[in-house]
Amino acid sequence: MSRKLLTVFVLSFLALSIDINGQEVDSVKSKKDKKNGIILLPAIFFSPETSLGFGAAGMYYFRTSSDSVAKPSNVQGVVIYTLEKQVLITFPFNLFLKNDQYWANGEWAYYIYPYQYYGTGSDVDLDNFEVYTAEFLRMETNLLYKIRENLYVGPTIFFDHYYKIKLDENGLLATNQTLGINPQQVFGIGGSFILDKRNNIFSPSGGYYLEGSILKYEKQLIGDYGFTDMYIDARKYYSPFDKSEIGFQLYHQSVLGNAPFYNLALLGGGRQMRGYYEGAYRDHHQTVLQTEMRHYLFKRVLVSAFGGVGSISENFGQYEKLLGSYGVGLRYEINSKEKIRIRVDYARGANTSGFYININEAF
């Protein structure tokens, strides 16, 4: 398929920020004792694969403890419907319980949605891709326990059940009989750890963050594929100047064994290597290094500049092509106390670009 994707995404900048009583989040009356709130963002977009799509994104944040320094829990949600009868319903969550002694996070989601496939490896043409539509249910959960201050460890469970995968009969996936084109399911179980020394979980400006996970996917009980997926995510934050923030992230992922094409390491997206479609480059190993600087123009308005380099490979460490991306962004701080922001980014990669609107920072 030789055509460029045309996407127009319009999102209201007038966010509805209310607490459970319908009051404004940062009102003088409720600011001091505020423990929870709701953020809602309406959305409308268009692409050749989806036609007209519309829906809403939102986040509910709250504290389960009366301790003012307890970490805020949050449940996010995105509900999208398109005129092509496509559906996206996803609920990422972060829950802190028992005075932050327990941390549950993950994502539960249901998709009937189109994806772009460019091939596997670093030698792909970003102007040529095929579209496949996958209908699947996702349940990912991490149950972490604090073993010492700021350090959490615990089990991780990942489950995808694919009901349907609609392919282009003349495309690469069908022609090559790529592993994963038949509707099946993947089930992984393993462990994760998080060392979190950030000064804010939504938009950090100081401290550091280290996360790692290893999952073993099996095909003995309810899974249909056997492989191992592991990653490490390291971040560091500074405030070198007044009203400025700078962050660095190093991310590496390795997928060992015979994984379906949608479970390979996917480079790109709205959080790492912005400017590349997520999965335009995919393979068994990826490494990404990125940085971002943000500065307050006014009390609630920030500008940002970011960039990154990354690569993928079939064999560990044998990277043949180094990819770069860069971009600029604008932030509006809905809640100054919690540092909850609307993020708008424009990014460019090698012969590609992307426009992103989301809640909170990419990393």
Examine residue 354 and state whether it is found in any structural domain, yes or no.
Answer: yes
User: Whole-angstrom Cα distance, residue 343 to residue 324?
Assistant: 21
Name the pLDDT band for 35 (thresholds 50, 70, 90). Answer: confident
Rounded-to-10 torsion of CA 105, 106, 108, 112: 150
Q: Does residue 258 belong to any structural domain of this protein?
A: yes
pLDDT tens string 197-251: 999 999 999 999 999 999 999 987 789 999 999 999 999 999 999 999 999 999 9
3-state SS string for 259-294: CCHHHCEEECCCCCCCCCCCCCEEECEEEEEEEEEE
Residues 6+ positions from 55 with CB-CB distance below 8 Å: 42, 43, 78, 79, 80, 81, 88
* Confidence label for 69 from pLDDT (cuts 50, 70 and 90): confident
% of the chain residues with pLDDT over 70: 90
Give the type of residue at 301. Answer: V
Amino acid at 215: L
> Per-residue pLDDT tens for 112-160?
999 999 999 999 999 899 999 999 999 999 999 999 999 999 999 999 9
Please tell me the distance from the alpha carbon of residue 21 to that of residue 64, in angstroms, as a whole number. 17
- In the chain, how many domains are there? 1
**pLDDT given for residue 295 in this prediction:** 97
Q: What's the per-residue H, E or C state across 178-194?
A: CCCCCCCEEEEEEEEEE
Supply the range of the domain harboring residue 63: 8-359
Reference 331, options 355, 290, 360; nearest CA is 360
Residue 3 in any domain: the answer is no
Quickly list DSSP for 77-102: EEEEEETTS-EEEEEEEEEEETTTTE
Residue 1 lies in a domain: no
- Per-residue pLDDT band at 175 (split at 50, 70, 90): very high
* Domain annotation covers residue 86: yes
CATH of the domain at 206: 2.40.160.50
Is the residue at 2 inside a domain?
A: no
